[in-house]
């Protein structure tokens, strides 16, 4: 066993490595960046014998893992928040098919509104999906739980997938010493996966997953009984794990509850805070204990009742509230203790960080009261600025039927520039220039639904907006569909506004492509603008389908091995107006935006947007980089409508591609032969297109 200093994200990847996972598939979403980045490094450097499958969205990531598991190999993925929501259908399918894959949930709250900090809403919304659920409080528990999850889930009496929860940023980006188990010991604990129920063999054909069945309820009963049986399997696995590795785990972790009159019940990181405070209160003479719920499914009702049998007061710390009801953990604890009837207090903390002074206040308040109560702890209290900036004060006036001045600020009245200045952008950001040009060209009668991405992160805050036109942040997957809904609604209201859907290459060409293709096929008069910076920049520079051939990203350390998806050509196949543009030719872009506005139907504009951060070049060279893309023929400017393509402009004399590549750190690994290959590919495409 070796002790190293790692984040919980990195440790999760090492857990998959030690479990000898063979197939990995994940889609970038903050904060699982560290998990998939480390997995990529382990696989590409030969430290892990596995195949990684880069996909266009979380639905496919879960599907790849389910497919691999159904073929009889160990599979692993990581996700959180909206990504987990997008997996929803497949998660239920996988448990119904008895596929014991493992999902590392780098838990964050599900929006809207957006947050990148954990509140368990993502994992709790899947609490009935028939998954084993392990909640961890530190990096050591993460790696141990992932290894145990495969052991437990693959047991013939269980055969269910698992969630291993590590909290966003509190754990994913926190570094601490961790003991990495020896591979030999892990192999002794976790034998190879040889399923008797999930495999593909043409000499012994079986069917997995069924259509409509009369025994649906019985199948659900089987899942339920498998979870109940899993309690004993978990206990056995924990005992064996302790014998081999010396670390003790269980369904719950009870601390000084034997004579406790007051017990704090929690899950995840908060448990460490509770345990330390219990020790301090004990020194003051307070008979208090703590109970950490490590396994939420199957729910350890008997262990909870035993631990809390002598408690007069129970303080439940809940990271997730079921809207319209109560905290989820509180509801489960109250049900488990219905015949013991202690006074139960619930603190709903949501995604708030809980420090020692916070929990001290909670404990002291509960000690001073004789009744059980529910409280949203440390709830944000809006001040006058918040009400004014958010428009809440005007909304209240509108509800009363009062007349409200629509535009009050002078900077909003100025329509010469319809995007705010001082936004949270990287130096040299070119997508910002594109968005400004789109708006100044189309004018104030424009509505902008935009996808998750860099522009979203820079222009939207709690009460602040970077847009001086009506705008809305929709999901990564569906901005085009939302744009359709906006357009038809505006038409019914008699409002002839421009509707411009804006997204990056991931939101348009990958995860949002189905919605884009569908919206275009429907023929709504909407302009779709793709700012293509050739990777998932907002989540930390991971590969997208439009990443250039052989370019390095965090998930293609040796360079992307397949050619860039030609999204403009694909959109041409829909028979709509399509144009390509570059930030270095703003007049050309303006003409194409105006054509897109006037065309009778949908339009698509593909803009290559060099990214200093993701491409690793001097931020002062953004415009020059786009000019070099044009002059080398790496990006061709053209228009197409109903199958007829017109070249907008051509370089007088094409420069060698090396002049473009050598300025970008993402291509610094290329050999002379690889540069030659890229040059030949560009020459071929240039001849074909022109």
pLDDT of residue 413: 63
pLDDT of residue 192: 96
CA 273 to CA 227: how far, in whole Å?
A: 30
Lowest-confidence range among 114-118, 120-124, 389-393, 678-682?
A: 389-393
CATH topology of domain 252-376: Rossmann fold (3.40.50)
Residue 548, pLDDT above cutoff 90? yes
Tens digits of residue pLDDT in 278-300: 999 999 999 999 999 999 999 99
Residue 111, pLDDT above cutoff 90? no
pLDDT of residue 408: 53
- To the nearest 10°, report the CA torsion of 155, 157, 163, 164: -50
CA 227 to CA 162: how far, in whole Å?
A: 11
Please determine, looking at this structure, whether the domain spanning 414-689 carries the CATH number 3.40.50.970.
Answer: yes
pLDDT of residue 209: 87
| Nearest Cα to Cα of residue 35 among 543, 552, 454, 555 | 555
Residue 327, pLDDT above cutoff 70? yes
pLDDT of residue 407: 57
Of 2.40.33.20, 3.40.50.970, 1.10.3720.10, 2.30.29.30, the CATH number of 2-197+214-245 is: 3.40.50.970
Split at pLDDT 50, 70, 90, the class of 337 is very high
Report yes or no on whether pTM surpasses 0.85.
yes
Instruction: Answer yes or no: are the C-beta atoms of 581 and 637 closer than 8 Å.
Output: yes
pLDDT of residue 411: 56
Tens digits of residue pLDDT in 175-233: 999 999 999 999 999 999 999 999 999 999 988 987 777 889 999 999 999 999 999 99
Same fold, 2-197+214-245 and 414-689: yes
Please state, rounded to an integer, the average pLDDT across all residues of the chain: 94
Residue 1, pLDDT above cutoff 80? no
Tens digits of residue pLDDT in 8-44: 999 999 999 999 999 999 999 999 999 999 999 999 9
Split at pLDDT 50, 70, 90, the class of 409 is low
Residue 405, pLDDT above cutoff 80? no
Tens digits of residue pLDDT in 455-470: 888 888 767 788 999 9
Average pLDDT over residues 431-448: 95
pLDDT of residue 397: 84
Average pLDDT over residues 339-347: 94
Residue 31: cis peptide before it, omega within 30 degrees of 0: yes
Half-sphere exposure of 52 (CA within 13 A, CB side): 28
Domain boundaries, the chain: 2-197+214-245, 252-376, 414-689
């Amino acid at each position: 066993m070796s002790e190293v200093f790692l984040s919980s994200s990195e440790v999760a990847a090492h857990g998959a490595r030690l479990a000898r996972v063979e197939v990995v598939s994940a889609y970038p979403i903050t904060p699982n960046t560290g998990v998939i980045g480390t997995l990529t490094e382990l696989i590409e450097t030969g430290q892990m014998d596995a195949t990684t499958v880069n996909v266009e969205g979380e639905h496919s990531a879960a599907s790849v893992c389910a497919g691999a598991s159904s073929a009889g190999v160990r599979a692993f993925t990581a996700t959180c928040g909206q990504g987990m929501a997008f997996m929803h259908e497949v998660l239920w399918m996988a448990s119904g098919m008895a596929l014991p894959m493992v999902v590392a949930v780098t838990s964050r709250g599900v929006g809207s509104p957006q947050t990148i900090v954990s509140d368990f809403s993502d994992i709790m919304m899947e609490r009935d999906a028939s998954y084993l659920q392990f909640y961890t409080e530190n990096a050591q528990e993460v790696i141990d739980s992932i290894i145990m999850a495969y052991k437990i889930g693959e047991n013939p009496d269980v055969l269910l997938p698992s969630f291993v929860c590590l909290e966003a940023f509190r754990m994913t980006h926190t570094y601490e010493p961790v003991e990495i188990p020896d591979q030999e010991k892990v192999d002794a604990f976790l034998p190879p996966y040889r399923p008797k129920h999930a495999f593909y063999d043409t000499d012994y054909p079986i069917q997995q997953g069924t259509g409509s069945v009369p025994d649906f309820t019985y199948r659900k009963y089987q899942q339920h009984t498998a979870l109940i049986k899993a309690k004993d399997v978990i206990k056995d696995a924990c005992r064996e794990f302790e014998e081999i590795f010396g670390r003790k785990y269980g369904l719950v972790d009870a601390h000084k509850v034997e004579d406790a009159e007051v017990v704090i019940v929690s899950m995840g990181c908060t448990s460490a805070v509770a345990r330390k405070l219990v020790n301090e209160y004990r020194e003051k003479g307070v008979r208090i204990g703590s109970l950490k719920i490590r396994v939420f499914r199957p729910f350890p009702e008997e262990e909870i009742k035993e631990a809390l049998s002598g408690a007069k007061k129970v303080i439940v710390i809940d990271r997730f509230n079921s809207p319209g009801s109560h905290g989820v953990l509180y509801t489960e604890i109250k049900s488990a203790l219905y015949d013991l009837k202690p006074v139960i207090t619930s603190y709903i903390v949501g995604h708030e960080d809980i420090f020692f002074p916070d929990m001290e206040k909670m404990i002291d308040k509960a000690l001073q009261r004789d009744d059980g109560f529910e409280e949203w702890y440390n709830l944000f209290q809006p001040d006058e600025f918040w009400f004014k900036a958010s428009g809440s004060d005007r909304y209240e006036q509108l509800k009363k039927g009062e007349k409200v001045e629509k535009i009050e600020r002078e900077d909003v009245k100025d329509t010469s520039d319809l995007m705010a200045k001082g936004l949270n952008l990287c130096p040299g950001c070119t997508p910002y220039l594109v968005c400004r040009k789109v708006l100044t060209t189309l004018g104030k009668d424009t509505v902008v639904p935009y996808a998750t991405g860099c522009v979203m992160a820079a222009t939207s805050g709690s009460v602040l907006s970077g847009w001086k036109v009506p705008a809305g942040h929709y999901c990564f997957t569906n901005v085009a569909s939302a744009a359709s809904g906006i357009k038809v609604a505006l038409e019914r209201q008699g409002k002839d506004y421009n509707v411009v859907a804006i997204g990056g290459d991931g939101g348009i060409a990958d995860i949002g492509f189905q919605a884009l293709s569908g919206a275009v096929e429907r023929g709504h008069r909407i302009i779709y603008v793709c700012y293509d910076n050739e990777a998932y920049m907002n989540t930390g520079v991971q590969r997208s389908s439009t990443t250039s051939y052989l370019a390095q990203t965090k998930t293609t350390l040796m360079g992307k091995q397949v050619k860039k998806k030609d999204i403009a050509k694909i959109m041409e196949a829909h028979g709509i107006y399509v144009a390509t543009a570059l930030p270095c030719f703003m007049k050309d872009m303006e003409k194409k935006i105006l054509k897109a506005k006037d065309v009778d139907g949908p339009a698509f504009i593909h803009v290559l947007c060099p990214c200093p951060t993701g491409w690793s070049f001097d931020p002062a060279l953004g415009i020059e980089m786009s000019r070099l893309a044009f002059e080398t023929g790496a990006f061709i400017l053209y228009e197409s409508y109903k199958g007829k393509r017109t070249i907008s402009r051509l370089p007088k004399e094409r420069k060698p591609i090396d002049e473009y590549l050598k300025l970008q750190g993402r291509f610094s690994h290329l050999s002379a032969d690889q540069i030659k290959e890229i040059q030949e590919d560009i020459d071929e495409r240039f001849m074909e297109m022109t």
